Structure 1
Amino acid sequence: MMDHRSRRQFLSLLCAGSVLAGGRTSVRNPLQADEDLENLYVPDAVDRAVQRGVDSLLHHQNDDGSITDRRHATAMTSLSIMALASVGVISGEDSPRGRAMHRAIEFVLTPRNQSDGYFGRQDGSRMYGHGITTLMLTEILGMGSSIDQNERIHQSLDAAIKLILKSQLVSKPKNLTGGWRYTPDARDSDLSVSVWQVMALRSAKNDGLDVPVDAINKAVAYLENSYTSPLDQRGVPREPIGGFAYTPGTRHPSFTMTAAGMLAMQTCGRYDSPLVSGAAKWLLENPPRNNDRFFFYGMYYYAQGMHQVGGEAAETAKRLTNELLLRLQSQGGHWISVEGEEQNIGIVYATTLAILSLGVRYHYLPIYQR
C-alpha cells in the first residue's frame, strides 16, 4: 500500500513518462513492460476526444473554482476533478489545467460545502453527491498542491467517511441492510446510491483510513441481495447469467445497474465472484445503447468494470465505449444527453462521465487499478 507521499510521487512519475496524445507508459514491474505497453496504449482518436473533452470541461469553470453548468455544484466539481485526474492532471502544477484543478479542489473544500462531514446538503445532491465527493477526495489524497491542501483534504475526508459508516448502520429491513439511500438517515436503500458509498469506502481503506471490514462485508451482502438471480446457500446464483437491479427483490436487470453492481463487487475485492462473471456475461448479451436510461452514468461503470474483468469482456467494452462515445461527442468537444432524465443534468455531468469512461485504460486513478 502506498502512503500519501508515494502516491503523489507515483502519479508524477507516471505523468512524466507519458504523453497523453498517443503516449505509452509502463507503470508496473519492468519485466511486464511489453504487456503493460500494449495494455496502456490508447488510440489517437480517443486521445483527441479526451483532450477536447477536458478543454470543453474547463470552459465551465466559474470564478469560485466550481465546474458546473447547472446545479449540484459540489458533486459536479468533484466529478470534474476525477476526470482531470484520470488523464494525469495534478493539482497546482504549473499549467492551466493544474491551476484549474487546484481551484476546483479549493471550491469543494470550502467550509460552506460541508455540513458535519456531509457534502450532499448545500448543493442538493444528497448522498449521491456525498459519495461522489468522498470518492474523489480518497482518489486525490496526498496529491494536493500543498501540505495545507492535503491536510484539509484529509480532515474533510475523515468526517465524510464517518458519515457514510454511520448512515450504513441506520436500522432497515433485512434485505436493505448494508446499503444507502438519498439521505444519511434513510431507512431504505438502492443500488445506485450505494455504489458510490461502496467505492468511497474501499478507496478510503486502500488509503489506509479507518474503514471496518464489517462495513465492506455488509455492503457485499446488500449487493448480493440486489442480484436478480436467487443465490443458493453457498452464495452461487441459480442461473449462470444474471444482473443487478435498482432494489433487492427485482428480477429484471438493467444495463446501468448491472454494470454498477458488477463494479461495486470488484471494488470490494470480489473479482472472482460468480455474480461478477454472471453480470459480465449479461452485459455481453445486452450491450449498451445510447438510448439506455442513464446512458452516461451506466457507461462509466461499464467501461471500468468490464475492463477489470478482462478478456472478451474488456475488449468488447473498449470497442463499444469508444464507438458510442466518439460518435456522440459534439463539435465543441463536450457531451450532453438529448433524451431521458440525463438531459436535465447538463454538459458537465455527461462530459465528465464520458472522459472517465474513455480514460479507464490510462490507469491514473487508483480506483481503476485492480
Structure 2
Amino acid sequence: MASLVAIERAMRSRAAAQDLQGIYLPDAVDRAVQRGVDSLLRFQNEDGSITDRRHATAMTSLAIMALASVGVVSGEDSPRGRAMERAIEYVLHPRNQTDGYFGRRDGSRMYGHGIATLMLTEVLGMGSSIAQNGRIHDALDPAIKLILKSQTVNKPKSLQGGWRYTPDARDSDLSVSVWQVMALRSAKNDGLDVPSDAIDRAVAYLVNSYTTPLDDRGIPEEPVGGFAYTPGTRRPSFSMTAAGLLAMQTCGRYESPLVSGAAKWLLEHPPKTQDRFFFYGMYYYAQGMHQVGGEAAETANRLTTELLLRLQSRAGHWLNAEGEEHNIGIVYATTLAVLSLSVRYHYLPIYQR
C-alpha cells in the first residue's frame, strides 16, 4: 500500500493543479508545453511504452514525468490520463525490473534505474487505482534498496558516496549520481525508508566534484565555482554544474556556498544550444536556478523560454540536430524540454523546495 505521506503529498499536488487552472492565462510557454505533450503521445506504442528509439523503460519514465509535470493524473477520463496509466503499467511490468534493477533489460543501466525510481516516487499515491499504487510501492522497495546498496560498494575515497553505470561499479560520476540522489530524496519525501547517512555520503561526493578548492572549513576559496563530471577535474561544464547545483539542493543544502557558487557560475556561463548534452543540462538548470530564486531564477526562466521555444519543431517535438543527444532521440529531448519549461507549474513534488 502507498504510504500515507505519499497519499497526502499527491492530494496536495492535485489541489495545487486545480488551484492553478484559473490563474494562468495561456501564453507561448503553455502552448509550447501542450504541443510537446501531444507530440509525446504520438510515440506511445501498443504495449504502453513511450519511446522512439531505445531504453524504453527509461524513456517511458521520463515521458510519465513530463505528463505529470503539466498536471496529468493516471487514469483520469481523458486521452492523456489513459495514456499515462498505460505507460505506468508498462514500467511496472515484471519483465522490466530484475532483482529490483530497472536498468538491465532496456540497457539504460543506472541512468535508467534512477529515472524510473524517481518517476515512481513522484507518482506514488497518484496511481489510477489502489491496486496500481500498491504495485508502485512494491516496485519501489527493491529499487531503492538497490540504489542504497550500490552506493556502499568499495571505491577510492574521492569516489565514495556516488554512483556509476552499473550497481556494482567501483567508480562514480556526477551525471549518473544526480538521478539516484533525486530518487532517494523523493522517496524520503514519500515517507519511505532512506537513511540520512546515505544523503550525507552523497553530499560528500558532490563536494569532491566541486571544481574550486575548499579551505579547512569546507568553504570554497573563490566565490564562483562549478561542478565536474568526476572528482579531481578542475574544468566545470554547463550540464554538470547545473546537475551539481540541483543535487546539492535535493540533499537539502540550499544555503551551501557551493550552491551559491554554482548559481553564480551559471549566471556567468549561460546555456548555449551547442553545449554538450544541452537538453540534459537544461532540465537541471531550469529546476536548480528556480530554487535559488532572485536573479538566478529570473535569468534561467528567460533563457530557458527563449532557447527552447526557438528549438521546438512545427510538429511540437524537440530534437538535438547534432552531438551526443541526437542519437538518443525525440522522446528524450522532448521530455526534458517539457520538464524544463514546466517548472513554473510546481506540479511535480521534486520541484518543490
TM-score of Structure 1 vs Structure 2, range by shorter chain: over 0.9
Match for residue 341 of structure 2? 358
| 1:191 aligned to which of 171, 174, 185 | 174
* Deviations 1:38-86, CA, capped at 9 Å, x for gaps: xxx5760000000000000000000000000000000000000000000
Whole-Å Cα distance in 1 between the matches of residues 152 and 213 of structure 2?
Answer: 25
Match for residue 276 of structure 2? 293
TM-score normalised according to structure 2 size: 0.98
SS in 1 for 2:134: helix
Whole-Å Cα distance in 2 between the matches of residues 247 and 237 of structure 1?
Answer: 18
| 1:14 aligned to which of 2, 8, 16 | 16
2:77 aligned with 1:94, yes or no? Answer: yes
Structure 1 residue 252 displacement after superposition = 0.4
| Pair 1:2–1:298, CA change in 2 (3 A) | farther
Alignment of 1:174-253 (within 5 A): 174-253=157-236
| 1:161 aligned to which of 129, 144, 147 | 144
| Pair 1:270–1:201, CA change in 2 (3 A) | same
- Given that 1:69 and 1:347 are in contact with CA atoms closer than 8 Å, whether structure 2 keeps it comes out as yes
2:348 aligned with 1:348, yes or no? Answer: no
2:329 aligned with 1:339, yes or no? Answer: no
SS in 2 for 1:154: helix
Amino acid at match of 1:114: Q
| 1:144 aligned to which of 105, 113, 127 | 127
SS in 2 for 1:356: helix
Structure 1 residue 6 displacement after superposition = 2.0
Whole-Å Cα distance in 1 between the matches of residues 192 and 133 of structure 2?
Answer: 14
Identity within the alignment, %: 81
| 1:305 aligned to which of 260, 263, 288 | 288
Whole-Å Cα distance in 1 between the matches of residues 105 and 280 of structure 2?
Answer: 22
- Given that 1:280 and 1:309 are in contact with CA atoms closer than 8 Å, whether structure 2 keeps it comes out as yes
RMSD: 1.1
Whole-Å Cα distance in 2 between the matches of residues 80 and 11 of structure 1?
Answer: 18
- Given that 1:7 and 1:143 are in contact with CA atoms closer than 8 Å, whether structure 2 keeps it comes out as no
Structure 1 residue 2 displacement after superposition = 6.8
- Given that 1:83 and 1:352 are in contact with CA atoms closer than 8 Å, whether structure 2 keeps it comes out as yes
Whole-Å Cα distance in 1 between the matches of residues 26 and 232 of structure 2?
Answer: 42
Whole-Å Cα distance in 2 between the matches of residues 14 and 309 of structure 1?
Answer: 21
SS in 2 for 1:156: helix
Structure 1 residue 16 displacement after superposition = 2.6
Whole-Å Cα distance in 2 between the matches of residues 304 and 8 of structure 1?
Answer: 20
TM-score normalised according to structure 1 size: 0.93
Structure 1 residue 7 displacement after superposition = 2.3
> Whose relative contact order is higher, 1 or 2, with alpha carbons under 8 Å and at least 6 apart?
2
4+ runs deviating over 6 angstroms = none
Unaligned runs of 5+ in 1: 25-40
Whole-Å Cα distance in 1 between the matches of residues 27 and 349 of structure 2?
Answer: 23
Unaligned runs of 5+ in 2: none
- Given that 1:42 and 1:362 are in contact with CA atoms closer than 8 Å, whether structure 2 keeps it comes out as no
Amino acid at match of 1:272: E
Whole-Å Cα distance in 2 between the matches of residues 16 and 279 of structure 1?
Answer: 34
Whole-Å Cα distance in 2 between the matches of residues 237 and 160 of structure 1?
Answer: 35
- Given that 2:13 and 2:349 are in contact with CA atoms closer than 8 Å, whether structure 1 keeps it comes out as no
Amino acid at match of 2:11: Q
2:67 aligned with 1:84, yes or no? Answer: yes
* Deviations 1:209-240, CA, capped at 9 Å, x for gaps: 11110000000000000000111121111111
Amino acid at match of 1:365: L
Match for residue 109 of structure 2? 126
SS in 1 for 2:350: helix
Structure 1 residue 204 displacement after superposition = 0.6
Whole-Å Cα distance in 2 between the matches of residues 241 and 110 of structure 1?
Answer: 46
Match for residue 34 of structure 2? 51
| Pair 1:275–1:42, CA change in 2 (3 A) | farther
Amino acid at match of 2:306: E
Whole-Å Cα distance in 1 between the matches of residues 18 and 202 of structure 2?
Answer: 38
